[in-house]
Amino acid sequence: MTDAIAHHPTDETLAAFASGTLDEARGLVVSMHLSLCAACSRKVEGYEAIGGELLEQATPLSMEPGALRNVLRLIEEDFAAPETGPKQPLDRYQLGPWRWVGPGVRQRSVSVPEVSNIKVFMLKAAPGTRLPYHRHAGYEWTCVLEGAFEHQFGRYGPGDFDEADETMEHKPTVCDGDPCICIVALQGNIVLQSRLGRIIQPLLRL
Amino acid sequence: MKNGWADRKKVIGKSEADEISDPKDGLVRNGLEKLITLPCQPEQDRAYSRTMVEFDPARLIRRVAASQDRDAFAELFEHYAPRIKAMMIRRGASRDRAEDLAQETLIKLWRKAAQYDPERAAASAWVYAIARNISVDESRREGRATAWAEEDGMLEDQHNDEPESQLLVAEREAYVRSSIGALPEEQLRVIRLSFFDGLAHGEIANLLGIPLGTVKSRIRLALQRLRDRVGELK
């Protein structure tokens, strides 16, 4: 936990997360931010209170006869295995190997099932790397895990969250110091603006 | 995400459309609509809660954690399982599947009881979060359920054999409750469709036939109002 996080998801995004209605890809990137940001975690808990209240107000729908007995039986058969401590959001996913995608840039896949052209991956870029000027065909949500990058909207360090969409063009540069490791949910393809960029794009496989 | 949507729209869309076109907004016309409109009637809940025996879910959860207290668990089950079942059906599960998911949620509640921190969250918020996670896992497993159309009318015969509310709510919960009750109907509707029915913002726009931007601004306004009333909504 750090209080140095400057860029957060919007309240609307946090509320969508709390209601369970973000797609899995974006939900994972928000989870990564929440694991690093106490302030947003508290907001999400506040929004869960809304869900809790709606649950209290719901019209109950009778359970099948014997449902409680069945649940108690299952609990006993399972020795009531208690669940300890929260799991890290990435624990449930397989990570691919780091592979080279361009000078100073490596990428590893995160095994989130691909739905409608949304991909999740981690990106590791060396200090000083300038990513090509690009815009997006869909959204690109990023959470920085280590190191930092900057673009025209500011500097993004560990825990910082960047919601870019198709209306945005940016040219991120990795800050000096440590390599920058991010987790990214990307919808559609990025669109490189330069001619050279368009030539190398197939190599980047982004 | 997409699979069951068209089917769900048939069912929810009908009553939502009625609700919109009906000047006497909030009239209960069928079982399904009851689920939609009941949360607008907190007055009724409050009237009930004054006469009910004390139901203190936070304390019951602590008893489950401390001594695997089956009586405490049974009370939690009786209260929450039927509400979670209703929520799962709203989120696209068939009646049978909703029954299973409600049972699964309560098993999870038993296993996670030791993690519950009453200083941090109201019991209802914590139970909601468990149910939501199970619902999210379910839609990942199955895609959105497609059983909606087949189950049309299934809510007509629901048994209302449980008292509406057995709560003695904590102050914080009372604030959230009254704040939700004070939302304008159009904001409450999108909040309910999102948090209870589990519809994404784009799906809500489709359902209500309004632009996505309007859905987003209604949610923003509702969150703003709730924050203003409840402070940080802790």
Residue A106 and residue A98 in contact, taking contact as beta carbons nearer than 8 Å: yes
Q: What is the pLDDT of residue A194?
A: 58
State the pairing for strand pair A169-170/A105-109.
Answer: unpaired
Contact check, Cβ <8 Å, B89/A61: yes
Mean pLDDT value of segment A128-146: 82
Decide if pLDDT at A100 tops 60. Answer: yes
Residue closest to A189 by CA, chosen among A197, A200, A201, A174? A201
Shortest distance between the Cα of A161 and any Cα of chain B, in A, equals 19
Q: What DSSP letter does each residue of B55-90 carry, written as one string?
A: --HHHHHHHHHHH--HHHHHHHHHHHHHHHHHHHHH
Q: What is the pLDDT of residue A79?
A: 62
Contact check, Cβ <8 Å, B233/A64: no
Contact check, Cβ <8 Å, B86/A61: yes
Domain regions of chain A by residue span: 91-203
- The answer to whether A81 faces chain B, any CB pair under 8 Å, is yes
Nearest CB to B176 within list A43, A49, A80: A49
Contact check, Cβ <8 Å, A19/B176: no
pTM to 2 decimal places: 0.77
Q: Strand A173-174: give its sheet, edge to edge.
A: A154-156, A149-151, A173-174
Q: What is the pLDDT of residue B79?
A: 97
Mean pLDDT value of segment A132-160: 87
3-state helix, strand, coil in chain A (%, to 5): 35, 25, 40
Query: Span A91-203: which CATH code?
Result: 2.60.120.10
Shortest distance between the Cα of A96 and any Cα of chain B, in A, equals 21
Q: What is the pLDDT of residues B25-80, one digit of tens each?
A: 333 333 333 344 344 344 444 444 444 568 899 999 999 999 999 999 999 999 99
Q: What is the pLDDT of residue B157?
A: 32
- Residues of chain B short of pLDDT 50, as ranges, are 1-6, 9-11, 13-51, 144-169, 233-234
Q: Strand A190-192: give its sheet, edge to edge.
A: A169-170, A134-136, A190-192
